[in-house]
Structure 1
Amino acid sequence: MVNILRNVLGISYIEEIVDLLNANKFSLIIDESTDISLVKTLCLVVRVCKNFKVHDLFFDLIEVESANASSLFSAVINSFTKNNIIYKQNMIGFAAGGANVMMGRNHSVSTLLKAAINDLFVLKCVCHSFHLCASYACEKLPGEVEDLARNIFNYLKSSSKRLKDFSSLQYFFEFKANKILHPSQTRWLSLSAVVGRLIEQYDVLIAYFSIAVKEENLQTAKNILTSLKDPITKLYLLFIEFALPFFIKLNKLFQSESSQIHKLHSSVKEIVVTLLECFVRKDYITMFLDSTSEFNLPPECLLDLESIYLGIKVECFLITNEINVIEIDTFKNKCRNFYIEAVLQILKGFDLNNSFFRNLSIIAPDNVYACTYKSIAPLLQQVPRLLADNIQEIDTVL
């Protein structure tokens, strides 16, 4: 059966794809991985339009000795050459993760492909990019917040009795019997759900660890209780609950099974504007968005600490709790640093002045139906390899 799949059906499958790629424009998506036996492999997936439907098709899985840019590039080209694919004529797009070996500016798979193929469109993984933006921004906040979430989870999970006692307190306080979540070490965006659960169960957690300190008298329980009773801890949790969903919203949008690339520019611009409005004077925001120079924030453009917006829950908590002014200023300054880093990282990874992404809104279904744009010429000028003989017919229909 294996031989039939490999030598008959497999060959037939590849031949069908080769014919499809040689007859149509296509894009390439690649990802490098290392399996449990430490063998490095490169997966090739092609995206092609067939019968007016876009298909993602597995093309090749290549074992590579080295995962540097030159080796991966050679592996891709050799695969195309071996299968007699006219990639220089038909390959129009390339997508991969944001690692330097794939997307670095100086020497990467993307730069090598762009040198070999004229007018190649390159796009790094949007979800991966925004996860990195959130990760860098979160580094501006105290690490104690993540440590608290991890310590609480580890303390409870290490004993079935502790879990049962915690569940009993949830029932007593009439809280939902939801489990405390474990924060991922590599996925900062998962911290949003973890923080939301901590806030939801905050009173129960304080009650539980107050009892645990008396009964078990462990230093870990004492440290957790001290942190939970510190109002600054609650403030950071409330801020994270407010700020991270901006990135999560974008991630969910671009994990859709349908094409959303026409929304990329407007969605990124929306989150940048929203973040800027939280800590920058309004008269400077438009200037930043229109500027083509490197993102820079002079002190005079920043709102004072008292005027920074950190979410309604933070505002309410500050009103109803007496907290040392110096501690509040330190907290707000760190949150402002979070905003600054978030915007800086977003603009590093995405150029709001990129006319191609901006012009993609021309083909957004809503704009097509509403005849918002008279012509698709501004977009077609940037993708000359897609120009067809019936260009006027296409423009008239749209």
Structure 2
Amino acid sequence: MAAKLSDLRSHARTTKHVRAAQPFSSARQSKIKFTNIDHSLKYATNEAEGQLALFIAEHTAFLTTDHVVEVSRKAFRDSKQAPHVKMHRTKCKEMLVNVLGPHFNQCLREDIGDAKYSLIIDESTDISVVKLLGVVIRYFSQKLQKIISTHLGLVEIESGTAASIVCAIKKLLEDVDLNPKKLLGVGVDNASVNTGLNNGVCELLKREFGLPKLFMIRCVCQSIQLAVSHSVAETLPRILDFLVKETYNWFGHSSKRQLMYKQLFATINDGKQPLQIPRVCDTRWLSIEPAVTRILSQWDELKLHFEITRSSEKCYTAESLFDMYSDPVNKLYLLFMRPILQETQRTMKTFQGENTDPMKLLLDLSNLIISLSKKVTIPTARVNPLTTDISSYIDPGAYMGYEFEKVCRESQIAIEVQGNIRQRCISFVVKLCSELRNRLPDNFEALRKISRFSVHECLNQVKDPITEIAEIFGCDYQNIEKVENQWRNLTIVQWQEKKSTAKFWIEVGNYRDASDCNPFQELHEIAIGILSLPHSNAEVERLFSQHNIIKNKLRNRLSLKSVNSVLAIRNGLKRLEKNCHTYDIPKTVLEKIGTMAAYSVSYSGSSNSTSPVTAFSTLVEDDDDLFLFSLQE
């Protein structure tokens, strides 16, 4: 029969068709056998697939799903749900992007609630040359009773301009449904696009959201790194930078040289093995400190190694390094630098720590500047290095440290040369203090006063008022008197927590009087707002480190939506102090697995342009249940 309408109409009038079109009798029609669905088994299967998907998101790549599921089915043959687990990489990805990722994002949004928050932002470029804006949110979790810093989102931006960054932040806040009026502060690096006085990111955010008292916190860690780098480059000999970097390069690419040095070091030090010389890298904050410390601890061994190598290899680099290690002047400079670098590194680590007391951080930074200035200023000088240039109060005979003075006495360095070295070391400290002072936040003096909210300060019987801090944090004139009264009455209550500042103010927030009211509510809100302010960009740098692990050379086509989903799951588990096998997926989330709502038919957002038909056919191959569901629909 030809595929023509006339032929179809002719066929419809034939006796054969009329007879075949008549309804079957119930006696002749065979019964369709439907299998009874075991809902408990289906729920257990969904739970197993969900836990496997969490494991994939937390530890490995989507591609491993194919083998992980098959190995599980083979290893656990006696399990009831193992034969029914049907999940491959496509279904796993869809489950993470459309079910588990949104679930953790929703949990984060509910955890934030109506609390005030701060944002930490930074820009980066991934392996596929896509410019991204990383955003970390910092807030107080009423449910978990602690300060949380976690991933909010990675946003693709067209350019690194301030307007583009502000548009990306605005869109992200709208997508997450966060109130921009609750934004307290923004943590940024020292780029001019962020810190500009007229058209910087923070100034544009103030005008865009109507937040005149928005705090801009520059990353103190990066400020210290830049201050040290500029001070070394402008005051100390360039040969020091060459010495430190080339010592690493000498061993970094040659296993033969490493073996020779290990044998030499073991011979001199009774079989001990040397510590590796670390690499100096600008993107690793103050990485010069461990490199200088290791070089000084192995100075004699390195000098002997280069003395032996320069004749055997006839290498110009080895000869140059031997000459540098033979010159005691270079050792003097490094001996002077080491305690200063260690002090700045110790201060930097306090800003990078997750459990540090934020009330004392700016006080620690000011103490660092004061400590550095005292190394070179006259002991009787009364000068504030935070506001005044110390170059007019220099002590020409300043004490340079025990090891420095010892080497000066024991070496044959001329007095004139020693005087020149001292002068350059003093110039280094003066320049470092100046660089640190210039990189302090504009509202540093006001922020430094928040140390009064530390647990040791606020429980003193005699303490300074907090009127200025209350005004900075938007407290109106009617409540300032109330806050001052609460501040004075803090010592009336016998508080249990007297060590951790964060735990102390959480206890204050949970305190109730006889009428079940909190008499310190307004004061608690100000303290929690201070605790929610960012103090460095360490968290967003950790976010980019996770991103680079997820999206690497082998996975360079991974879509941004998939990366955000994996990051949301990983940070959500970390926030809840859970992992892939201890987290219990809610039943409402498990019910979405295997339904059409959990799968995106269109792959327009992915890097590989798969058509909807091809995408859906791939899903059908990965999950037979989805195919049955589509037939029922």
TM-score (norm 2): 0.57
Where does residue 46 of structure 2 map in the other structure? none
Q: CA shift at 1:53, angstroms? A: 1.6
The residue identity in structure 1 corresponding to 2:273 is A
Count of residue pairs the alignment pairs up: 390
1:79 maps to 2:179 = no
Where does residue 617 of structure 2 map in the other structure? none
Q: CA shift at 1:397, angstroms? A: 3.0
Where does residue 219 of structure 1 map in the other structure? 316
Q: CA shift at 1:353, angstroms? A: 7.9
Q: 1:344 aligns with which of 425, 434, 437?
A: 434
Rounded Cα–Cα distance in structure 2 between residues aligned with 1:311 and 1:179: 25
The residue identity in structure 1 corresponding to 2:236 is L
Alignment of 1:279-298 (within 5 A): 279-284=376-381, 286-289=382-385, 291=387, 295-297=388-390
Rounded Cα–Cα distance in structure 1 between residues aligned with 2:405 and 2:159: 52
1:56 maps to 2:149 = yes
Where does residue 595 of structure 2 map in the other structure? none
1:41 maps to 2:132 = yes
Alignment of 1:294-333 (within 5 A): 295-297=388-390, 299=392, 301-304=393-396, 307-333=397-423
Provide Cα deviations, 1:347-372, integer angstroms capped at 9, x if missing partner.
11126984422321111111133345
Rounded Cα–Cα distance in structure 2 between residues aligned with 1:194 and 1:289: 29
Where does residue 275 of structure 1 map in the other structure? 372
Query: Is the CA contact 1:46–1:59 (under 8 Å) kept in the aligned structure 2?
Result: yes
Provide Cα deviations, 1:65-87, integer angstroms capped at 9, x if missing partner.
11111100111112223444321
Query: Is the CA contact 1:146–1:183 (under 8 Å) kept in the aligned structure 2?
Result: no
Where does residue 241 of structure 1 map in the other structure? 338
Q: What secondary structure sits across from 2:375 in the alignment?
A: helix
The residue identity in structure 2 corresponding to 1:184 is V
Rounded Cα–Cα distance in structure 2 between residues aligned with 1:354 and 1:188: 22
Where does residue 356 of structure 1 map in the other structure? 446
Where does residue 360 of structure 2 map in the other structure? 263
Alignment of 1:162-177 (within 5 A): 162-174=257-269, 176-177=272-273
Where does residue 231 of structure 1 map in the other structure? 328
Query: Is the CA contact 1:134–1:188 (under 8 Å) kept in the aligned structure 2?
Result: no
Q: CA shift at 1:164, angstroms? A: 2.4
The residue identity in structure 2 corresponding to 1:185 is C
Where does residue 143 of structure 1 map in the other structure? 238
Query: Is the CA contact 1:149–1:195 (under 8 Å) kept in the aligned structure 2?
Result: yes
Question: Would the alpha carbon gap of residues 181 and 105 (structure 1) be closer, same or farther in structure 2, given more than 3 Å must change?
Answer: farther
Provide Cα deviations, 1:74-129, integer angstroms capped at 9, x if missing partner.
111122234443212x1112112222222233321112123331311221112111
Taking only aligned residues, the RMSD between alpha carbons, in angstroms, comes to: 2.6
Question: Would the alpha carbon gap of residues 329 and 35 (structure 1) be closer, same or farther in structure 2, given more than 3 Å must change?
Answer: same
Rounded Cα–Cα distance in structure 2 between residues aligned with 1:188 and 1:240: 16
Larger displacement relative to structure 2 (142-151 or 26-35): 142-151
Where does residue 254 of structure 1 map in the other structure? 351
Where does residue 277 of structure 2 map in the other structure? 181
Where does residue 118 of structure 1 map in the other structure? 212
Q: What secondary structure sits across from 1:381 in the alignment?
A: helix
Q: What secondary structure sits across from 2:287 in the alignment?
A: helix
Query: Is the CA contact 1:47–1:56 (under 8 Å) kept in the aligned structure 2?
Result: yes
Which structure 1 residue ranges, 4+ long, deviate > 6 Å from structure 2? 386-390
Q: CA shift at 1:172, angstroms? A: 2.0
Q: What secondary structure sits across from 1:384 in the alignment?
A: coil
Query: Is the CA contact 1:289–1:352 (under 8 Å) kept in the aligned structure 2?
Result: no
Q: CA shift at 1:328, angstroms? A: 1.8
1:98 maps to 2:190 = yes
Tell me which structure has the larger Cα radius of gyration: 2
Question: Would the alpha carbon gap of residues 369 and 194 (structure 1) be closer, same or farther in structure 2, given more than 3 Å must change?
Answer: same
Query: Is the CA contact 1:149–1:182 (under 8 Å) kept in the aligned structure 2?
Result: no
Larger displacement relative to structure 2 (175-184 or 314-323): 175-184
Report sequence identity in percent: 25
Where does residue 296 of structure 2 map in the other structure? 199
TM-score (norm 1): 0.89
Larger displacement relative to structure 2 (2-11 or 273-282): 2-11
1:107 maps to 2:225 = no
Rounded Cα–Cα distance in structure 2 between residues aligned with 1:46 and 1:150: 37
Q: What secondary structure sits across from 2:383 in the alignment?
A: helix
Unaligned runs of 5+ residues in structure 2 are 1-91, 492-633
The residue identity in structure 2 corresponding to 1:27 is S
Rounded Cα–Cα distance in structure 1 between residues aligned with 2:170 and 2:104: 20
Rounded Cα–Cα distance in structure 2 between residues aligned with 1:83 and 1:207: 61
Larger displacement relative to structure 2 (162-171 or 149-158): 149-158
Q: CA shift at 1:270, angstroms? A: 1.5
Provide Cα deviations, 1:168-194, integer angstroms capped at 9, x if missing partner.
221221164214413323146211211
Query: Is the CA contact 2:457–2:463 (under 8 Å) kept in the aligned structure 1?
Result: yes
Rounded Cα–Cα distance in structure 1 between residues aligned with 2:389 and 2:412: 35
1:4 maps to 2:95 = yes
Question: Would the alpha carbon gap of residues 110 and 19 (structure 1) be closer, same or farther in structure 2, given more than 3 Å must change?
Answer: same
Alignment of 1:379-398 (within 5 A): 379-385=469-475, 391=483, 394-395=486-487, 396-397=489-490
Rounded Cα–Cα distance in structure 2 between residues aligned with 1:160 and 1:354: 49
Unaligned runs of 5+ residues in structure 1 are none
